[in-house]
Amino acid sequence: KTARLVPIKTLEGFDFSFQPSIDRERVAALAQLDFIRRAEVVHFLGPPGTGKSHLATALGVAAVKAGRSVYRATLAELVEALSKAEQEGRLSEKIRFYARASLLIVDEIGYLPITQGGANLFFQLVNARYEKGAMILTSNRGFAEWGEVFGDPVVATALLDRLLHHAVVLQIEGASYRLRGHADLIPEY
């Protein structure tokens, strides 16, 4: 298997001047990691390419440096792993595994629709971590659209009930960093 070289995302490597809608002080406060001790949920919301994954990963890197256990996956990866575990009769073991990390980062909520069964599995995981372990979630969709994302408005409401109870929401409004320098190619710019 060939090695994949992924550049490490850090807060130092983030250009806050490119994304003025992000409150740098709030991100710096999160990097103190008290949100992990308090088992809070941090939401990064905003359009693609605005740095949500970068900031989530950078906080994860800070947490690892501080000796905390961190697990990161996309929502689609989590749901796939949970449903595989369910088929193999290992669901509670798998949920315990994900519940154990001090910080669970769930990336890319909203890109791929989740089936009702998948939403139920994710709900069980969120419930297992609720008020016990911190999470960072990134999404390109507003909370009002979660019914659509999770294919079930009832489960979406129950998810949001827990995920917004002890929560910090950072809404990013701005241009994609990936497309910087190509403003002429994008009509909405």
Residue 33 CB, shortest distance to ligand ADP, in Å, is: 20
Residue pair 104/135 in contact by the 8 Å Cβ criterion: yes
Segment interacting with ligand ADP (CB under 6 A) among 29-37, 44-52, 63-71, 76-84 = 44-52
Q: Does 52 bind ligand ADP (CB under 6 A)?
A: yes
If one asks whether residue 131 binds ligand ADP (CB under 6 A), the answer comes out as no
Q: Which is closer to ligand ADP, CB of 51 or CB of 118? A: 51
CA 32 from chain centre, in angstroms, equals: 18
Q: What is the Cα–Cα distance from 59 to 55, expressed in whole angstroms?
A: 6
Total of residues contacting ligand ADP (CB under 6 A): 16
CB of 139 to ligand ADP, least distance (A): 9
At closest approach, how far in Å is the CB of 53 from ligand ADP? Answer: 3
Judge whether 136 and 103 are in contact, CB under 8 Å. Answer: yes
Cβ proximity to ligand ADP, 16 vs 123, nearer residue: 16
Which spans of this chain sit near ligand ADP (rule: CB under 6 A)?
9, 14-15, 18-19, 46, 48-54, 138, 177-178
